[in-house]
Structure 1
Amino acid sequence: MRSPTVDVSGGRKRPKDRKAQIAQVAAELFCARGYHGVGLEEIAAAVGISAPAVYRHFENKYAILVFATRGLVDSALTATSRPPEEDGWATLEDQLEALARLATTHRDTSGLYQWEWRYLTPEHRAEFGDDLTTLLRRLATPLSAARPALTPADAAALARAALSIFGSLGTHRAAIAKTRAEQALRQAAYAVLHDEPPTPAVAPARRAADPGLRSGSRREIVLAESIQLFREHGYHAVNIEDIGAAAGINASSVYRYFPGKANLLAAAFYRASERVSEATATALAGATNDVEALHRMIESYVDLTFERSDLVSVYLAENNNLPESDRHELRKVQRLHVEEWVRLLGAVRPDLPTPEVRVLVHAAINLVTDLSRWVRFDRGTGMDRHLVRLMTTVLGLS
C-alpha cells in the first residue's frame, strides 16, 4: 500500500508518515547489520531521499534508534492492551495470539529488543525497561489468574520466557508461512507458561570473567576481559583502552597479543565455535538414539551457556562486526550447528514440518541465551535444570 502524501514545494509529494518510514527502514538496517554498521547515508538511500532530508525529521542517528525502539515497544503495548473482558482481564490466549501476530509483523525489527537496546543511554534504557515491565505484567496477570498457585515472581519469570520465544523469530531468516509461524510460537509459549515455575533467581550482576579463559596466559586474560566487555556494552562501545584497563595492563600492551579489536572479536568467535563443536560432538558420541542425542544436546547447550555465558552471548550478537574474512566461515559453522538440532528434532518428531522444526529450534536456543541477559547464571539457584526443562518443553519433548 502506498503511503499517504501531501503537497510540498515544486509540486513534489512527500509521504505523511515519512518520519515513521525512515525509522522503519533504519530499524531493519540496524537489526541486519548492527547499529554502528549503518550510516545515515545508507538509511537515506534505502528510503529514497537525501541525507540532509533525514535531518528534517531526526537530529542524528541515535534519535532514529530511540524513535524506532519506542515504536517497537509501543506496538507491543498496543497489541496487548485489549479492552478488559467481563472478568476484568484479557485472556491468556488473547495475549498469546496478539504477541504471535506481533512477532511475525515485526520480525525484521525485533532485534532492537534482542541486542540493539545496549546502545541506548541509561535514561532511555530505563524507559525501555519500564515498558518491558508493563508488557510482562500484561502476560503475567492472566497467567496468574489461570494458575493461582504461582507466585508473582514465578509468573513474571515464565512470562519473560514466553516473550523470548516470540522474540526468537527475529534471530533467524528461516522461511515459514506467517500463519504457521504464529501457530508454532503460540503453542510453544503456551506450553512454557504451563510448565513448572523456575527456582528463584537474582537480577543480573557484573559477572566475573570466564574462569576457563582467565586461568592462563596474559593473552587469555585479555581475551576473557574483552569478551565480557563486548557482551555488556556491545562491540562498538568498547575500545582498546577499556580492554587494557580491565586486564590490568596499558592499552599499548594489548597490541602485543592482538593486532586490533577486530582480531579480539574474531578470536572470541573461533573460541566459541570450538566450544560449541566440542560440546555437540561429545553429546552425539554418547547417544544411542536420536531421542537421547537431542536430550544430551539440550543438556550440553545449557551447560555451555552456564560455563561460558559471556562467550555464547557475544557469539550470537556480534556476527555483523566480524572481519569479512572470518564472517562467512563462522556463519557457516553456526548454520551447521543449528542444522544438527533441526536434523535431530525432525527425526524425533517426524510429523512436524521442517519449517516448524527450525522455528522451534531457534526458539529453544534463544530462550536460554535471552534469559541469560536477565538472570545470573548460578548453578546454586537451580536455573540450569529449569532451562533444560524449558528447552525440552519448547521442542515438544516433555
Structure 2
Amino acid sequence: MRRRPKDRRERIAQVAAELFCEHGYHGVSLEQIASTVGISGPAVYRHFPNKYALLVEATRGLLAAALSTTDLPPGAEPRTTLKALLLTLSRLAVKHRRSGGLYQWEWRYLEPEHRAEFRADLAVLFGRLVVPLRAARPEELTVPDAEALARAALSVFGSITTHRTPITKGRAEVALHRIAVAVLRDDPPTPVVPSPAGSGLERGAVRVSSRREIVLAEAIRLFHQNGYHAVGLDEIGRAAGITASSVYRYFPGKGELLAAALYRASERVAAATAAALADAADASQALHMMADSYVTLTFERSDLVSVYLAENNNLPEIDRHELRKVQRLHVEEWVRLLTTVRPGLPVPEARVHVHAALNLVTDLSGWVRFDRRTGMDRHLVRLMVTVLMA
C-alpha cells in the first residue's frame, strides 16, 4: 500500500494558491485542484472540507512565509536591517511568483474574520519595514511617510505576480531589489484614509448621459467593491434605478457587461498613450508624459482600472484573449520607450520595471488622496519614473 506524502496538505494548498491566481478563485474547482496534484477529489476532502478552507490556508501560508523569513534578530543597524529585509522579500516574491497574486486580489473573497486576520498579518509585515526605515531616515520621515514608502516597496515586490515575463530568478530578484531600494530612498506620498467605497469618479464626478452608461458605471462600481462573482444583475439594476430584466436591454449578460467595462478601460489607456506619444519631443519626454497620463487615469478612474486588472479571468474567453493581447501591447510600448531611454537595460528587466511602476500606482490609488492642489500628481509621476529609472 502506497503511503501518502507527509507534505500532501501543503502541496494541495500550494497548487490551489497557484490555480486561484491563474484562473481566479471562482474559476477553480476542487476537482481541478485534485487533478493538478495528481489525486482524487475525495482525497482533497481528507485535508480540507471545502474550497474556501483552501483559500484561507493558501493566504495564511503566503503571509506565514513572509513573516517567518522577515523575522530578523533585533539590534542590527537600521540600514543593514533594511538591506537584509529587501533582499529577503525580493527572493520571496520570485519564489512565490505563481501564488503571490493572493496578496494582490484573491484575498477579497475571504470572509470578514479571515480578512481581518490577513490584514493584521500584513500590518506586521509593514511594520518590519517601517521601523528600520524610520530609524534610518529619522529627520526626513514621519511614521505615515515611512508607511507610505513601505507600502510602495511591497507593491514593487507584488508586481512580479502580475505578469509572466520570462526572466531568470536571479535577474528578477536583482531587479526587484534595485527598484525597492530606489523607492525607499524617495520622498513619500501623503497617506490618507481611503475614500468610502462607491465614491469614485464613475459615480460622482463623471456625468453619464444615457441609461446604458449608468448601468455600466454602476456595474464597474459594484464589481470593484464586491468582486465580479458577488454581484448579480438584480443588484446592478437596482443601483441603476431599473429592474434586472431591463439590464438585458443593454447587455446580453453579466459577462458581456464586464467585457464592456474592460474594453472601456482599454480604450482610455490607449487614448492616453497615443496622446503622450503624439505630443512628446523624444522618448524621455514620452515616458514622463505616459507616466503622467497613467497616474491621472488610475486615480480619476480607480474603480475602472482596478476592475480591469482584477477581473480578467471572468471574461468570456474571446474577450479575455483579446484584452490580454491589448495589455501586452501597452506594456511593450512602455518597454520600447524605457529601453530607448536606457539602452543598456535588457528587455526582460525593462518589463519588470514597467510592471512594477504600473502596479505601484494602482496599489497606491486606494490609499492616497489624489489632489492636484497639493502636487500629489507630480509626486506620483516622479515616484513612477523613479521605479522605471532605478
Global fold match (TM > 0.5): yes
Q: Distance in 1 between matches of 2:311 and 2:61?
A: 24
Does residue 79 of structure 2 align to residue 79 of structure 1?
Answer: no
- Look up the match of 2:155: 164
For residues 141-220 of structure 1, the aligned pairs below 5 Å read 141-149=131-139, 150-206=141-197, 207-210=199-202, 211=204, 214-220=207-213
Q: Which is worse superposed, 247-256 or 263-272?
A: 247-256
Task: Check the 8 A contact 1:209/1:224 in 2, yes or no.
Answer: no
Alignment pair present for 1:279 and 2:269: no
Q: What's 2:255 paired with?
A: 262
CA distance in 1, matches of 2:378, 2:385: 11
Which residue of the other structure, out of 339, 357, 365, is the alignment partner of 1:364? 357
Following superposition, the deviation at residue 371 of structure 1 comes to: 1.7
* C-alpha distance 196-72 of structure 1, shift in aligned 2 (>3 A): same
Please give the residue correspondences for 1:201-350 in structure 2 after superposition, counting only pairs within 5 Å.
201-206=192-197, 207-210=199-202, 211=204, 214-350=207-343
Give the C-alpha shift of residue 203 in structure 1: 2.5
**Displaced runs of 4 or more, over 6 A:** none
Matched, 1:394 2:384: no
* 2:95 counterpart of 1:95: no
Aligned residues: 387
Mapped partners of 2:372, 2:33: distance in 1: 44
SS in 1 for 2:368: coil
How much does 1:253 deviate?
1.6
1:326, distance to aligned residue in structure 2 (A): 1.2
Query: Within the alignment, does 1:24 sit opposite 2:14 as a pair?
Result: yes
Structure 1 position 384, deviation (Å)? 2.4
Change (3 A) 1:276 1:212: farther
Q: How much does 1:290 deviate? A: 0.5
> Cα gap change, 1:381/1:248 in structure 2, threshold over 3 Å: closer, same or farther?
farther
What whole-Å deviation, never above 9, does each CA across 1:194-221 have from its counterpart, x for those lacking one?
1112234333422245157542101101
CA 1:124–1:330 in structure 2 vs 1: closer, same or farther (change >3 Å)? Answer: same
Gaps of 5+ in 2: none
SS at match of 2:4: strand
Q: Secondary structure at the match of 1:123?
A: helix
8 Å Cα contact 2:78-2:132 kept in structure 1: no
Q: Judging changes above 3 Å, is the alpha-carbon distance between structure 1 residues 294 and 89 closer, same or farther for their aligned structure 2 residues? A: closer
The answer as to whether partners of 2:190 and 2:369 remain within 8 angstroms in 1 is no
Residues 251-275 of structure 1 show CA distances to partners (whole Å, capped at 9, x for unaligned) of 2221121111001101011111111
The AA in structure 1 aligned to 2:246 is S
Greater mean deviation of Cα atoms: 79-88 or 192-201: 79-88
Q: Tell me: CA distance 1:239–1:344, structure 2 relative to 1, closer, same or farther (3 Å).
A: same
The change in CA–CA distance for 1:279 and 1:12 in structure 2 (over 3 A counts) is same
Q: What is residue 40 of structure 2 aligned with on the other side?
A: 50
Counterpart-to-counterpart distance in 2, 1:20 and 1:383: 44
Q: Give TM-score, length-normalised by structure 1.
A: 0.94
- Give the partner amino acid of 1:177: T
Contact 1:279 1:300 (8 Å CA) reproduced: yes
Give the superposition deviation at 1:106: 0.4
Aligned to 1:7: none
Letter in 2 for 1:314: V
Gaps of 5+ in 1: 1-10
**Alignment partners' CA distance in 2, 1:393 and 1:201:** 22
Of the candidates 82, 87, 94, which is equivalent to residue 104 of structure 1? 94
Q: Would the aligned equivalents of 2:223 and 2:231 in 1 still touch at CA under 8 Å?
A: yes
Q: Deviations over 1:340-377 (max 9, x none)?
A: 00000000001111111000000000001112233344
Answer yes or no: is the 8 Å Cα contact 1:168–1:362 preserved in 2. Answer: yes
Post-superposition CA distance 1:63-93 (Å, at most 9, x none): 0000000000001111110122345896110
Measure, in 1, the Cα distance between the counterparts of 2:43 and 2:223.
Answer: 34
Contact kept, 8 Å, 1:192 with 1:394, in 2: the verdict is yes
Equivalent position amino acid for 1:205 in 2: P
CA RMSD of aligned residues (A): 1.6
**Deviations along 1:300-332, whole A, 9 cap, x unmatched?**
111111221111111111111110121111111
Q: Output one character per residue of 1:88-107: Cα deviation in whole Å (capped at 9) or x when no partner.
A: 89611011011001111100
Which whole-Å CA distance do the structure 2 matches of 1:240 and 1:152 have between them?
A: 43
Secondary structure at the aligned position of 1:109 is classed as coil
Distance 2:374 2:104 in 1: 24
Distance 2:98 2:370 in 1: 29
For the structure 1 residues 226 and 381, does the alpha-carbon distance in structure 2 shift closer, same or farther, using more than 3 Å as the test?
farther
Distance 1:290 1:68, change over 3 A: same
